[in-house]
Amino acid sequence: MSKFRKQHMSIDWHEIVGEESYEPAVNATLKEKSSLVERVGMMMLSVGTGAWRVRASMNKIARALGIVCNADIGLLTIECTCIENGETHTNEITLSTTGVNTDKLNELEHFADGFAERAGKYSVLQFHRILDKIAEIPPNYKAFNLALASGLACCGFTFLLGGGPVEMILAFFGAAVGMFVRKKLLERHITLLANVSAAVAAACVTYIILFRLSQYLFNVSEVHQSGYICSMLFVIPGFPLITGGIDLAKLDLRSGLERLTYALLIILMATVTGWVTALLLNSYPADLPELVMNPVLKMVIRLICSFCGVYGFSFLFNSKRKMAVTAGLIGMIANTLRLELIDFTNIPAGVAAFIGAFTAGLLASAMKTKAGYPRITLTVPSIVIMVPGMFLYKGIYYLGAYDIANGGMWLTKAFLIIISLPLGLIFARIFTDNNFRKSS
């Protein structure tokens, strides 16, 4: 018998409902109705979406069942009270960990949207069986597929950060190995900081070993060694950074602060691991060699690399290929616009990031009507590529070397861009969504 004891016990939702009954859900007891509201909220939270969307889905279920729901939502917990005819039912639900799964998010959105018309026909137990099927949907991609997607994304990211063919090729292999290691550790439920540290170390070591080998075989210049930073950018927690900012804008302070703390933990662990690995292997984050090319050609390659970056990152969020392509097209336009504004105008990088995210939000709103995907499954993947992972790494690296001036400069640049990205999405949502625009 295994000595391993789970720290978070699972909930048997069928046990709460009891024996099978074909009584419509609208006629069920408050405890049974609450179980549906709570489970939908828990499943929405588990796929990485923010508190505003979790609460919106719980409210859809509650209204259809004729009850009132009040919920306090964090990163891993929901405290929920349901009220009906003077009776109350309070429960707290806790997740063991968090992640991002846009495919399940899409399925849960469709479930919540269609719940009202079925609440008078299906029993609570039947609804739980539908949720069982959604919960049991397997991941769309294996570790090898995610490794290739991560390599493709970081390869595109490398060019957008100023890298050339050498850095792009080496970053592809470094990121692929790093993501493969992380996926295998996640399958074994290895804790967050350990899997992030191992993945980043694997990516950096792979890049630097291949670089040294290419130096020996092809006499590659030493200036290309700093591209190892690009190989570790697949761990940058874009989803919690963006959704945390959105939650803060909706005054969901608990969820917003917890998400930002979670993202900060990953960033610190990744950057410190990269820094230590670089010191051990005698590498350093110098500026990438400048690429000289025709502006039109550069813009075309940026379009292609932006699409590849967003498309690859969407796989890491478990998006289906059609969803990934849609997000890729949005990110291709928004990110290239951002970079062109930086190159050809005096607009600061933070303002350009705001414009890029705002554009992505508007495009996602337009695509939502045609494609039918939730906005967040398109907007966040499309702007994750704008998160300044290299700036964050350089800031930590220089602080670790006691170069406070350079470290502070890079972290300040990163901070201004990071706060601009969710702001861009927020204002796009304010302009296009009446429900989001109003406080109640």
374-414 confidence digits (pLDDT tens): 888 899 899 999 999 889 999 988 988 889 999 999 999 99
Residue 8: what pLDDT? 72
Q: Which two tokens mark 40?
A: 């939908």
The percentage of residues in the chain with a pLDDT greater than 70, rounded to a whole number, is: 97
| pLDDT, mean over the chain | 92
Nearest alpha carbon to residue 272 among 409, 402, 404, 397: 397
Beta-carbon contacts of residue 12 (< 8 Å; ≥ 6 apart): none
Dihedral sign for Cα 387, 392, 393, 394, please.
Answer: positive
Whether pTM exceeds 0.95: no
3-state secondary structure of 173: helix
Residue 238 CA from chain centroid, whole number: 5
Check residues 242 and 401 and name the one with the higher pLDDT.
Answer: 242
Question: Residue 440 pLDDT more than 70?
Answer: no
Q: Which two tokens mark 407?
A: 């470290």
Q: What is the rounded distance in angstroms from the CA atom of residue 113 to the CA atom of residue 372?
A: 12
Q: What is the mean pLDDT of the segment spanning 262-267?
A: 95
Residue 226: what pLDDT? 84
Rg from Cα positions in the chain: 23
Q: What is the rounded distance in angstroms from the CA atom of residue 69 to the CA atom of residue 91?
A: 11
**What are 305-363's pLDDT values in tens digits?**
999 999 999 999 999 999 999 999 999 999 999 999 999 998 999 999 999 999 999 99
Question: Residue 301 pLDDT more than 90?
Answer: yes
